């Protein structure tokens, strides 16, 4: 499925990334590495030749105007894109020295290790306890005490104190912010290495958002986090590194395709962006 290489890139070299990871400090190892990843929906190329690596225990933000493919890239990191009709990935995404789109790789196993939190909180119509216990149960995790695991996950998600007396109640009764933290706890329960977050706060009020941003800082110690956000200030607040995407017209088809423009430490990207398009976006001239 991913063997044929794209030999004639139709987006000119100059248009693409001007900042590459090797200019940055290499102390943190790369956990998840995209090599020339292009993502297609049928004939439409949504994302063109993206190369970037996500480093352990860092928060990386993907920002850019709408339609630039950042959510598409995120969803391809844990093979959730497979669920879309006609979706296809070219290039490689390396995780533990294995291309997760390799022929022999089990997408289910990938998703256990690379978890995802969605834009709209989606708790299951079950009790709070069963929501957390769901993941470990379905993947067959051997657990000495499920009660302890649930408590641990909720504690790490900064939700334990608020729900410890009502674990058996339906998760749908929680507020939006609580539901999102529940979804984070649910993801943590299966012990992933990477947590992907697709605009996790866009459906929440500012206070709930703040709680989740604080939570992200704590989670960073144990997990690698990649977050898509359309809120630049949020990226500036939480992310160690930021990748800026934009949509360029494809020279052959005329459709707009997403490309990676710049990828650097957040402070550097925001204060002294190397690419003019990054600067335009950050200063609000477009997007």
Partner 1 sequence: MSTWSPPRPPAVISQDSLRARPRPLDTAIRLLFRVAAIFTIIITVGIVIALLIPSLAFFAEVPVWEFLFGTRWAPRFADASFGVVPLVTATAWTTAIALVVAVPLGLGAAVFLSEYAHRRARKILKPVLELLAGIPTVVYGYFAVQFIQATVLREWLGLDTGSFSVLAAGFVMGIMIVPTIASISEDAMSAVPNSLRQGSAALGANRMQTTVRVVFPAALSGVIAAIVLGVSRAVGETMIVALAAGQQARIVTGPLEAGQTMTGFIASAALGDSPVGSLEYDTLFAVGLLLFVITLVINFASIAIVRRFREAY
Partner 2 sequence: MVTSTPTRHGMGALVHRSVRGRAKGGETSPRSIAFLIVLWFCLLFALLFLVVLLINIWVDGVGRLDLALFTEYPSSNPDDAGARPAILGSLWVIGTTAVMTLPIGVAAAIHLEEFSDRHNLINRAVELNVQNLAAIPSVIYGMLTLAALGLFGVVNKNQVWVGALALSMLILPVIIIATREALRAVPAEIRQGSLALGATPLQTVFRNTLPAALPGIATGAILGLSRALGEAAPLLLLGGLVFLRFDPNGLMSGYTTMPIQIFNWTGRPQQGFHELAAATSIVLLVVLLLMNALAIYIRNRYQQRW
User: Contact positions toward partner 2, by CB under 8 A?
Assistant: 78, 80, 83, 108-109, 111-113, 115-116, 118, 120, 122-125, 134-135, 137-139, 183, 186-187, 190
Is the Cα dihedral 153, 213, 247, 33 positive or negative? Answer: negative
Residues 207 and 230 sit within 8 Å (Cβ to Cβ): no
Q: What are phi and psi of 127, to 5 degrees?
A: -70, 165
Contact status: 138 vs partner 1 (CB under 8 A):
no
Between 151 and 279, CB nearer to partner 1: 151
Contact status: 77 vs partner 1 (CB under 8 A):
no
Among 245, 234, 223, residue whose Cα is nearest residue 34: 245
Residues 189-248 that bind partner 1 (CB under 8 A): 191-193, 222
Sheet with 224-228, edge to edge strand ranges: 98-99, 87-95, 30-41, 44-55, 256-265, 241-249, 59-63, 224-228, 194-198, 114-117
Tell me how far, at minimum, the Cβ of 204 lies from partner 2, in Å: 16
Is the Cα dihedral 64, 66, 68, 72 positive or negative? Answer: positive
Per-residue binding letters, 96-115, with partner 1 (x by CB under 8 A): xxx-x---xxx--xx--x--
Among 15, 21, 43, 19, residue whose Cα is nearest residue 247: 15
From the list partner 1, partner 2, none, which binds 183 (C-beta under 5 to 8 Å, kind-based)?
partner 2
Between 117 and 188, CB nearer to partner 1: 188
Contact status: 12 vs partner 1 (CB under 8 A):
no
Task: Report the residue from 35, 152, 213, 250 that binds partner 1 according to the rule CB under 8 A.
Answer: 152
Residues near partner 1, by CB under 8 A: 95-98, 100, 104-106, 109-110, 113, 144-145, 148-149, 151-152, 191-193, 222
């Amino acid at each position: 499925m991913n063997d044929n290489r794209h030999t004639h890139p139709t987006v000119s070299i100059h248009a693409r990334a001007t900042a590459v990871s090797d200019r940055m400090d290499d102390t943190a190892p790369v956990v998840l590495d995209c090599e020339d990843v292009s993502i297609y929906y049928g004939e439409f190329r949504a994302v063109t030749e993206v190369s970037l690596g996500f480093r352990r225990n860092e928060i990386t933000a993907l920002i850019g105007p709408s339609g630039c493919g950042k959510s598409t890239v995120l969803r391809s990191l844990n093979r959730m894109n497979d669920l879309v009709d006609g979706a296809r990935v070219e290039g490689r995404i390396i995780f533990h020295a294995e291309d997760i789109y390799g022929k022999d790789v089990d997408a289910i196993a990938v998703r256990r290790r690379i978890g995802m939190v969605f834009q709209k909180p989606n708790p299951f119509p079950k009790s709070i306890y069963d929501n957390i216990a769901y993941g470990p149960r379905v993947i067959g995790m051997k657990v000495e005490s499920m009660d302890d695991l649930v408590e641990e996950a909720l504690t790490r998600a900064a939700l334990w104190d608020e729900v410890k007396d009502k674990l058996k109640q339906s998760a749908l009764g929680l507020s939006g912010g609580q539901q999102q933290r529940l979804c984070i706890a649910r993801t943590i329960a299966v012990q992933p290495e990477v947590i992907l977050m697709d605009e996790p706060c866009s459906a929440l009020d500012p206070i709930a958002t703040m709680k989740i941003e604080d939570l992200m800082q704590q989670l960073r110690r144990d997990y690698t986090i990649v977050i898509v956000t359309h809120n630049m200030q949020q990226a500036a607040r939480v992310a160690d590194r930021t990748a800026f995407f934009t949509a360029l017209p494809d020279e052959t088809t005329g459709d707009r395709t997403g490309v990676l423009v710049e990828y650097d430490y957040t402070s550097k990207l925001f204060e002294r962006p190397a690419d003019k398009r990054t600067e335009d976006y950050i200063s609000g001239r477009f997007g």
